[in-house]
Amino acid sequence: MHLIFRYVRPYLKRMSLGLVIKFTGTIMDLFLPYILAHIIDEIVPLQDLRLVLKWGVVMLVCSILAILGNVIANRMAAWVARETTRRLRHDLFRKISYLSNRQIDGFTVPSLISRMTTDTYNIHRMVGMMQRIGIRAPILVIGGVIVTITLEPVLALVLTCMLPIILAIVFFVSRRSIPLFDHLQKSVDTMVRVVRENASGVRVIKALSRSEGEKVRFERVNRQVMADENKANMVMAASKPAMNLTLNLGLVLVILVGAWRVNAGLCGPGAITAFLTYFTIILNAMMSITRVLTMWSKALASAERIESVMAAEDQLTPQPIPATHEQAHIVFENVNFSYNNKENNLEEINFTLNRGESLGIIGPTGAGKSTLAGLLMRFYDIRSGSIRVEGKDVRAYDLKELRAKFGVVFQNDILFKKSIGENIRIGRQLDMTRLEQAAKDAQAAFFIEETGGMEASLEARGVNLSGGQKQRLLIARALAGRPDILILDDSSSALDYQTDARLRQTIHKDYGDTTTLIIAQRVSSVKNCDKILVLEEGRMSGFGTHDQLMQSCDLYREISRLQMGEGVQA
Ligand code: ADP
């Protein structure tokens, strides 16, 4: 609620103007039956056609004002709703991009996506609806009741008898339907998640012939959504006939009582005609209020979901940790880290790298290799110990300043639906020669030329490229900024041995000042690194040069033997 108000506040003036216009239009609507009653009961008996025509023109003017007022006010309302949502989405997107990885893990990505889309849309609808129906309906109900009382107090009594029944229906329906809609929203979230998993994992699902299983899984959530939707709409649907029944019963009563009063000469037939119209207007307005209430509660639930993201505190702000005066470029000192703050995913990691040195990190899957590289960029904060870059703790850096030092290629990095050049540049101030050089260094120049040059367009996620081509483009992107620190996380796995070797030579030769971390599965990829770190279940099981490790580290020797054959120093 607070959130919605905050975003609507800048438009309060415009909304008030819209409200005045809406108010005028609605009042004009209310006048119409009243004038009709006046014509039938008082003007027609005078048998003066000119007077009838005059009042007819008044009615016409009122209708035009009513329509114009409503259209203008609705357009203004739509504008406010659009602007509110645009700003809300903008801020939410910004906030999400600053969330720490730990917070993203907490919210989960599919949930953040549905907060960005469905939830902001609910707020959009609510802000629009409140200004259109939320204002019009109460005016119609209150104004209608006032006019009917002045018009025919006795018939107004009939209306008064019907009101409690209607209120009871509104109350019952909203109480039942609101939780049902909440539940429906959750089922839709699950469905979105399943579709997402399915779409991103489509290859592995096909490869493992899991398509049937996935269909069953999707069918299950799909049915759940259908069942929930059914339930919610059943309740909503029940409200319509109940309302209509009440409305029509009321109309019958009005006609009965009205007929009796007209016969007794207590009121004119025109008043009865007007009364019937008011009766319908009022009850329809009450039904609209039910809809507004449902939307309102949905939007409030959405606002809460958005607010919880917005309220997430900034976890990665710089901390006052004193710097050391060490020479080393990168230092890991007694680093312990855990994703869930229970068992450690990395334990007692210690190593030092000088500027320009290369570190190979090798070890089984799940050993913590990517985690270690991520910690260096402060994706997560460590439990204890210290990670320093140029003598300064990574937690003491302004995050932008820290991350500007890096060029990285992670597993599953993505390419955008843009030109090749733009994909390498990604918004940085880099001239074309720099991009071309980076492409050449990443061994990508040849195939870029073949694909149509830097201007050639890529499909979303680079689906029109081979795995090796994608990797080379991503490496070009990382090299283009001439980073202080280069991290290549399993990014040469799809390259053939020769290209991989050439790439490493180029980095060694032309990026001498760049400290490089190469995470790899292949011993050949790390063999020539200045230092190699062998990780096993989050612990260092060896650290040194290839030759040293061949002597001292069983795991390293074992991996080497499996990959290159015993004794072969490829
Ligand atoms: P590697 O790169 O060596 O294959 P990772 O660094 O990716 O290994 O993972 C190390 C361990 O941390 C694994 O057990 C993995 O399940 C766990 N892990 C990785 N990312 C997360 C995460 N975001 N949340 C919780 N656990 C994670």
Q: Which residue has the higher pLDDT, 210 or 51?
A: 51
**Which has the minimum average pLDDT: 127-136, 148-157, 170-179?**
170-179
In order, the DSSP letters of 449-499 are HHHT-TTPBPPGGGTTS-HHHHHHHHHHHHHHT--SEEEEESTTTTS-HHH
CA 98, CA 102: separation in Å to the nearest integer?
A: 11
Of the chain, the percentage scoring pLDDT greater than 70 comes to: 98
Tokens of 441: 């260094």
Report the alpha-carbon distance of residue 509 to residue 356 in Å, rounded: 10
For ligand 1, is residue 362 a contact (CB within 6 Å)?
A: no
Q: Please give the pLDDT value at position 249.
A: 87
Which residue's alpha carbon is nearest to atom 14 within ligand 1? 366
Model confidence pLDDT, tens digit, residues 470-512? 888 999 999 998 999 999 998 877 788 888 888 888 888 888 8
Per-domain boundaries in the chain: 2-191+236-310, 316-405+483-570, 412-482
Cα of 371 to ligand 1 centre, how many Å?
6
Which is the closest atom of ligand 1 to the Cα of 367? 3
3-state secondary structure (DSSP) of residue 426: coil
What pLDDT is stored for residue 567 in this prediction? 46
Q: Residue 569: its pLDDT value, please? A: 47
Q: How many residues does the chain have?
A: 570
- Amino acid of residue 183: H
Residue among 340, 371, 377 whose CB has most ligand 1 atoms within 8 A, to mutate: 371
Residue nearest atom 26 of ligand 1, based on CA coordinates: 339
2-191+236-310: CATH topology:
ABC transporter transmembrane region fold (1.20.1560)
Ranges 70-74, 123-127, 193-197, 551-555: which has the least confidence: 193-197
Q: What is the pLDDT, as a whole number, of residue 546?
A: 92
Exposed, middle or buried, 412 (CB in 10 Å: 0-12/13-18/19+)?
exposed
Q: Give whole-number Cα distances, 451 to 187, 417, 468, 479, in Å.
A: 44, 15, 14, 20
Residue 398, Cα to own-chain centre: how many angstroms?
26
Residue 302: CB within 6 Å of ligand 1?
Answer: no
**pLDDT at residue 461, as a whole number:** 64
Cross-strand partners of 330: 353, 389
Report pTM. Answer: 0.74
For residue 221, the CA-to-ligand 1 centroid distance in Å is 29
- Helices 269-310 and 12-38 cross at an angle (nearest 10°) of 160
Q: Give the Cα separation of 2 and 299 in Å (integer).
A: 12
Q: Which two tokens stand for residue 222?
A: 């799909």
Paired residues of 387 in beta bridges: 332
Task: Indicate if the pLDDT at residue 570 is higher than 60.
Answer: no
Q: Ligand 1 mean position to 542 CA, how many Å?
A: 20
User: Which ligand 1 atom is the nearest neighbour of the CA of 101?
Assistant: 23
Residue 566, pLDDT > 60, answer: no
Ligand 1 geometric centre to CA of 549 (Å): 25
Q: What is the arithmetic mean of pLDDT over 399-410? A: 90
CA quadruple 316, 318, 323, 329: dihedral sign? positive
Which residue owns the Cα nearest ligand 1 atom 19?
371
**Token reading at 501:** 């070797």
Q: What is the pLDDT of residues 534-543, one digit of tens each?
A: 999 999 999 9
Tell me the torsion sign for CA atoms 407, 313, 336, 384.
positive
Backbone phi, psi, residue 524, to 5°:
-60, -30
Task: Pick 231 or 160 by higher pLDDT.
Answer: 231
Distances (CA, A) of 151 to 26, 34, 437: 18, 8, 86
Give helix then strand counts, H and E, for the chain.
20, 10
Contact 117, 96 (CB under 8 A): no
Using a 6 Å cutoff on CB, does residue 371 contact ligand 1?
yes
Residue nearest atom 25 of ligand 1, based on CA coordinates? 339
148 CB within 6 A, ligand 1 = no
Of all protein residues, whose CA lies closest to atom 27 belonging to ligand 1? 339
- Ligand 1: nearest atom to the Cα of 339: 25
- Tell me, using a 6 A CB cutoff, whether residue 103 lines ligand 1: no
Ligand 1 atom closest to the CA of 371, numbered from 1: 6
Q: Over 70: is that where the pLDDT of 399 sits?
A: yes
* Residue 219 near ligand 1, beta carbon < 6 Å: no
pLDDT at 373: 93
Domains 316-405+483-570 and 412-482 share a fold: yes
C-alpha to C-alpha distances, 567 to 544, 550, 560, nearest whole angstrom? 19, 10, 9
Say what percent of the chain tops pLDDT 90.
Answer: 38
* 365 Cβ inside 6 Å of ligand 1: yes
Evaluate if residue 162 carries a pLDDT over 90: no
Contact 158, 254 (CB under 8 A): yes
pLDDT at 377: 92
Tell me the best of 102, 338, 345, 362 to mutate to test the pocket of ligand 1, counting ligand atoms within 8 Å of each CB and taking the most.
345
CA distance 517 to 330: 11
> Which residues lie below 8 Å from residue 244, measured CB to CB, with a gap of 6+?
none
More confident residue, 86 or 314: 86
3-state secondary structure of 428: coil
How many angstroms separate the CA atoms of 12 and 85, rounded? 15
The closest alpha carbon to 387, from 369, 400, 366, 372, belongs to 372
Query: Rounded mean pLDDT of 425-431?
Result: 86
Alpha carbons 125 and 134: distance in angstroms, whole number: 12
**Topology of the domain covering 316-405+483-570:** Rossmann fold (3.40.50)
Ligand 1 contact, 370 CB (< 6 A): yes
Q: By alpha-carbon position, which residue is closest to atom 21 of ligand 1?
A: 339
Is residue 53 packed enough to be buried (19+ CB in 10 Å), middle (13-18) or exposed (0-12)?
Answer: exposed
Mean per-residue pLDDT for 241-270? 86
pLDDT band at 237 (very low <50, low <70, confident <90, very high): confident
Question: Which amino acid belongs to residue 307?
Answer: E
| Range 409-435 average pLDDT | 86
Contact 159, 250 (CB under 8 A): yes
pLDDT at 90: 95
Query: Quick one: 362 exposed, middle or buried, by C-beta within 10 A (0-12, 13-18, 19+)?
Result: buried
Spacing, Cα 366 to ligand 1 middle (Å): 6
How far apart are alpha carbons 511 and 490 in whole angstroms?
A: 19
pLDDT tops 50 at residue 422: yes
Answer whether residue 565 shows pLDDT above 70: no
> Measured from the CB, is residue 368 less than 6 Å from ligand 1?
yes
Question: Residue 548 is inside which H or E element, if any?
Answer: helix 546-552
Residue 69: pLDDT over 80:
yes
Give the residue, 60 or 180, on which the prediction is more confident.
60
State the sign of the Cα–Cα–Cα–Cα dihedral 14, 20, 22, 25.
Answer: negative
- How many Cα atoms are found within 13 Å in the side-chain-facing hemisphere of 380? 24
Contact yes or no for 398/409 (Cβ under 8 A): no
pLDDT digits (tens, 9 = 90+) for 343-374: 999 999 999 999 999 999 999 888 999 999 99
On the question of pLDDT at 568 being above 70, the answer is no
Residue 362, classed as helix, strand or coil, is strand
The domain 412-482: what is its CATH number?
3.40.50.300
What CA–CA distance (Å, rounded) separates 152 from 156? Answer: 6
Q: What is the mean pLDDT of the chain?
A: 87
